[in-house]
A and B are shown apart, each in its own frame.
Chain A
Amino acid sequence: MVPAAGQSAWLTLLISAAMAFLCVFALAFSVAAGRLADRWGDALSRTATVRLSAPATQMDEQTAIVLEVLRTTPGVDSARVIGPEDQAALLEPWFGPDLPLDLLALPRLIEVTESAAGFDSMGLRLRLAAEAPGAVLDDHTRWRRPLLEAAMRLRLLAVLAMGLIGGATAAMVTLAASASLASNAKVIAVLRLVGARDRFIASAFVRRLTLRALIGAGVGTAAGMAALLAIPGTADSGGLLTGLGFAGVEWLYPLAVPPLAALVAWAATRAAAFRVLREVT
Chain B
Amino acid sequence: MIDLESVAHGYTGAELFSEVSLRLGGGSFHFLTGPSGAGKTTLLRLCYGELVPQRGKITFFGENRRGMARDKLAFTRQRIGVVHQDCQFLDHLTLRENVALPLIAGQRPVPDTDLDELLSWVGLSAHADALPPTLSGGERQRAALARAIITSPEVLLADEPTGNLDWEMSTRLLQLMIELNRMGTAVLIATHDLNLIRAAKPHVSARVLRIAGRKLQLAGADL
Contact = CB atoms under 8 A, between A and B. Distances in A.
Interface string A220-245: 00000000000000000000000000
Interface string A188-221: 0111111111111000000000000000000000
Contact of B77 (A195, A198, A200): A195
A180 B101 CA distance: 20
B74 interface: yes
Contacts of A277: 70
Nearest to B104: A1
Contacts of A189: 88
Contacts of A197: 70-71, 74-75
Contacts of A193: 48, 50, 77, 82, 84, 88
Contacts of B75: 195, 197
Nearest to B81: A194
Interface residues of A, number: 18
B49 interface: yes
A187 B88 CA distance: 9
B107 interface: yes
A196 B106 contact: yes
A147 B156 CA distance: 77
Nearest to B75: A195
Nearest to B52: A281
A194 B102 contact: yes
A193 B51 CA distance: 11
Contacts of A97: none
Contacts of A195: 74-78, 80, 102, 105-106, 151
Contacts of A1: 90, 93, 101, 104
A89 B71 CA distance: 79
B107 A198 contact: no
Nearest to A191: B105
B147 interface: yes
A230 to B, nearest CB: 43
B90 A187 contact: yes
The 7 nearest A-B residue pairs measured at CB: A196-B105, A195-B78, A195-B77, A194-B102, A197-B74, A3-B92, A194-B105
17 contacts: A1-B90, A1-B93, A189-B88, A190-B89, A190-B90, A190-B101, A191-B105, A193-B48, A193-B84, A195-B74, A195-B75, A196-B74, A196-B105, A196-B106, A197-B70, A281-B52, A281-B73
